[in-house]
Amino acid sequence: MKYVICAYRDYGIKLFENLRKQFDFTLIKSKKQLTYNSIKRINPSIIFFPDWSWKVPEEIVRNFKCVCFHEAPLPKFRGGSPIQNQILRGKTKTKTTAFIMNEKIDAGNIILQKDLSLQGSLQEIFSRMYKNDYSMILKIINGKYKERKQIGTPTTYKRRKPEDSELKNLNHTKKYLYDFIRMLEDPYPNAYMKIGKKRLIFKKAFYNNNKLSIQGEIE
């Protein structure tokens, strides 16, 4: 059985590296590589999308089994930037949802869900996502899942743009500032403030006992 994994960030590449030790996996890292002809040549049983930010060509979705991993309790928080959109709304825990892709965004049948904490740094969240995705992919390959329709009223949010990372001022609670900065750690466009002609880039934030500490740099 052949499989494809579509991923481009560190945790997605790590998934591929570990899965290829057990199964016949091909890695696709860019939008340019993901074409119908390239997939047809591989002819995979399943295409996994644990770490992908681009629209998948409908011809691929229609002709191959595509499984996407979305960090939200679908049908809630469909759309882009699910981690950031949930943290901004005060969510501290969510779900990793694996679903069968169709022509609509994040609307396919759910096959597996697993709890995911949104606390801590973005790298800590990515580490949890990796563990969830890895265990779920193994279950899917082994057929240990049940397909079910999404239930409930969908909510959809737009993908965040780089300009959305700007903090206009510091007139917010320390907790809000902490969440805003940590959810935009690398590899995302970092939180920043404009100070004259310069930018103050917020790289990391630490919050403990109502004390906020920040690491940053000036551009």
Domain 162-218 architecture: Roll (3.10)
212 contacts 178 by C-beta, under 8 angstroms: yes
**2-157 against 162-218: fold identical:** no
Domain ranges (residues) in the chain: 2-157, 162-218
Which residues in the chain show pLDDT less than 70?
A: none
What's CA 116's distance to the chain center, in Å?
12
CA distance 98 to 70: 7
What pLDDT score was predicted for residue 140? 98
Would you give the DSSP letter of residue 131? H
CA distance 136 to 151: 21
Q: Which two tokens stand for residue 58?
A: 């409908």
For 41, other C-beta atoms within 10 Å of its C-beta total: 9
Domain 2-157 architecture: 3-Layer(aba) Sandwich (3.40)
What pLDDT score was predicted for residue 180? 98
